[in-house]
A and B are shown apart, each in its own frame.
Chain A
Amino acid sequence: MPISILRALSVLIPLLSAAALAAEPALPTGLGGASEPELPAGMEAGDSGPPLPGGLGSGDEPDLPAGIDEPRETAAFDDWEVGDSDDTEAPLGGLTGFWEARAGHRLQSADNQRQSSLAEMRLELEKGWQGLSWSAKATADLVYDSIEDSGHADLETGMGWLDLREVWLQWRPGADVDLKVGRQILTWGVGDLVFINDLFPKDWNSFLAGRDEQYLKAPSDALRVGYYGDGFNLNLVYTPRFDADRYIDGRRLSYYNPLVGGVVGRNEPLSVDRPDDTGVDDEWALRLYRRWGSYELALYGYDGFWKSPGGFDPRSGRARFPRLRVAGASGRGPLGPGILSLEVGYYDSLEDDSGDDPFVNNDEWRFLAGYEWEVARETTLGLQYYLEAMGDYGAYRRTLPAGQPARDQYRQLVTVRLTRQALNQNLTLGLFAYYSPTDEDAYLRPNIHYKVTDNLAVEGGFNLFFGDRDHTFFGQFEDNSNVYTAVRFSF
């Protein structure tokens, strides 16, 4: 084809398309010079910014247009209360925290329990200190609790007027080593509200009664050593005196007592023998982990005790915390549009090797698979499958005292977490559900949380337990189903 035709075509085609564009009702602003953006401050010609290039002197060009919508708004920054200075330090001399009021009510009357499940005010105060190679922090909750006697403070159980959440000192003796000593919150593992290798203390009372999710973790009094090498990282946690869960003991929430053969409350608070000999009744927890690209892998070990009562002493009539050793592993990483989590653990119940002691928990395998992804804008869905397989099941059945309901060999659990955010992420609608097809019981946690301002938040929700049988994991809590509401002012 002759060059001239090509040229003619190349002129014609853009002319046609340009004509089509011009014929449209509105040319997108910005294609014309009129709505060209104004240069920002610091770029004006003659300012510190570079001048216009010589070849494009402004003589024959139109002047820069005025601002597009409104004049410059730099003045609006004046009403920012935070200044230019380093504001990593909060006001009030670095004191942060919140004040909160929270109330909860049972949805049905329960024998031997009050109708009210929560009625408290809480002031959390937090302060940090730091040097070049060390830092320290203290967090204390001052609590007025009208459900449980808040006369004296028990720092171990968190009951009473003071719940000391954190008091720790951390320092770095070498580039690869961190040490953290004192009262601290510890978490690891990949489960979402399901725990296998995380054997740090949990506060089940707070969780089931409708306190903020942060209170599910109870503090440990421990030394944490972290080593961070090229190939792998190691965390070792030593707790010189056993830190048990804040387990359900009947005082606030009712539970199934196999001795009584039914659900009991404040009339039969669980009495326990807690291992408390410092240096002897200690706990070791270890995690070896590393990351390969997007994937995280970890190995775990634990030596200590069942964290919630896992045994019973028929002579004293008290619940016990038998010895426990756990080994496990986890992996986590992206798969398709979401995050896949896998975790496994073997619970070696040291005081019942052959599984024939009816008063001590048997060994267990625990397995978890989870997947979480964004199903729609601002909406995430998390699904988990959890399996608990009892070892020496034959021995368990053989030695089970007559009349006691038997557990299944395999307990399966499915969880669903659905979270939706709206109104510029100030409103969060959440549902967390546990459902066990084997126990035929369920636990639903719907919640609504709204940030009225940056400092003020209100929330409400339910803890709903379902189950036909009194002895299953969630079924035993049916009388504790509750509704709660809270208001929190953060500072």
Chain B
Amino acid sequence: MKPVKHIICMVFLSLSAALPAAGAEEQQPSLEEIVHRANQVAYYQGRDGRAQVQMLITDSQGRHRQRSFTILRRDGPDTDAVADRAYLGEQQFYVYFHRPADVNKMVFMVHKKPGENDDRWLYLPALDLVKRIAASDKRTSFVGSHYYYEDVSGRSIDADHHELVDVTDNYYVLKHTPKEPGEVEFDHYLMYVHRETFIPVQTEYFDSQGNKYRVARALKVETIQGYPTVTEAVMEDLDSGGKTRMRYNQVTYDIGMPEAVFTERYLRSPPRQYLR
């Protein structure tokens, strides 16, 4: 039955694309809107935010590593509105490490700019050294976990072609195909976006043979200050069998963090009032 349902769905979607006046799904948001709302919910909620993050990394042989850090985020635009991409703009991240012990008090800072390479800094407290880090490859592991830099800070909407391949009871199923296939390791990825909250509940990465090799899942969602928030998630590497679980504690939005927090001054002397 499934292939038949699938074919019908494809036909329907193609038809509705070819004949825009079909009129069957008036309430359904446009593809563009789904893509942007999912992006906004995943990475841009509120004017700023803070979380204590714990990571449990399990390698293919079942060995565990832990990471613990505080992440501060601030958005340039003062709106969450998706219309006209108003929510998209500069964004700053400040990641203060607690564990493991050998990275205690290290700081990783990112200034994200749409359409440009990120600016990244690393502060090494034992040397009082502020390093700039080249940001060329965003699809390398973040702190040795199965998450990539891009998974943590968001992949540019404009880097992919988007298709709505299915609409189910709960999900809009999106297929994203990279515009520059040479720059990424995947052929495409599917995203299950919850229809009510626009939370990307599951993201599946496929290689060029059509094999699914990497899956990100939201495990727990809590509504915090009115924002539906993923508070537990996992990233699995299906090839190696390794995975990383992430837990977000003490999530707070709209703290009113000034932009100055994301400067060299606060790399050298961390902003305690926002980290506690």
Contacts and interface: CB of A to CB of B under 8 A. Distances in A.
Interface in B188-247: 190, 192, 194-197, 199, 201-202, 204, 206, 210, 212, 215, 217-223, 228, 230-232, 234, 236, 242, 245, 247
Interface residues of B, number: 97
Nearest to A128: B105
Interface string A47-87: 01110110110100110100011001110110011101011
A13 interface: yes
Contact of B144 (A52, A135, A424): A424
Contacts of B260: 228
Given A7-B19, A82-B68, A490-B100, A40 B219 contact: yes
B134 A37 contact: no
Contact of A18 (B10, B70, B212): B10
B222 A42 contact: yes
Contacts of A48: 223
A454 B100 contact: yes
Given A76-B245, A338-B134, A217 B6 contact: no
B83 interface: no
Contacts of A55: 27
B182 interface: no
B65 A454 contact: yes
A39 B127 contact: no
A374 B134 contact: yes
B195 A53 contact: yes
Contacts of A15: 7, 11
B105 to A, nearest CB: 8
Given A77-B247, A214-B126, A425-B143, A37 B202 contact: yes
B180 interface: no
Nearest to B188: A28
Nearest to A172: B269
Nearest to B166: A31
Given A41-B219, A74-B219, A86 B126 contact: no
Interface stretch (A19-27, A108-116, A463-471): A19-27
A377 interface: yes
Interface in A152-191: 170, 178, 180, 184-188
Contact of B129 (A86, A98, A187): A187
Interface residue tally on A, bucketed by range: 35 or more
Contact of A88 (B194, B236, B275): B275
B66 A82 contact: yes
Contacts of A82: 54, 66, 68, 99
A226 interface: yes
A291 interface: yes
A30 B206 CA distance: 11
A491 B99 CA distance: 9
A10 B19 contact: yes
Contacts of B15: 10-11, 14
Contacts of B126: 185, 214, 217
Interface stretch (B39-47, B72-80, B152-160, B168-176): B168-176
The 8 lowest CB-CB distance pairs between A and B, nearest first, are A37-B202, A14-B14, A490-B101, A425-B144, A42-B221, A454-B100, A10-B18, A214-B126
24 contacts: A10-B19, A14-B14, A22-B3, A33-B5, A36-B168, A37-B201, A40-B201, A40-B230, A48-B223, A49-B197, A52-B196, A55-B27, A68-B215, A73-B219, A80-B247, A88-B276, A187-B129, A217-B127, A294-B116, A332-B132, A377-B140, A424-B141, A455-B102, A490-B102
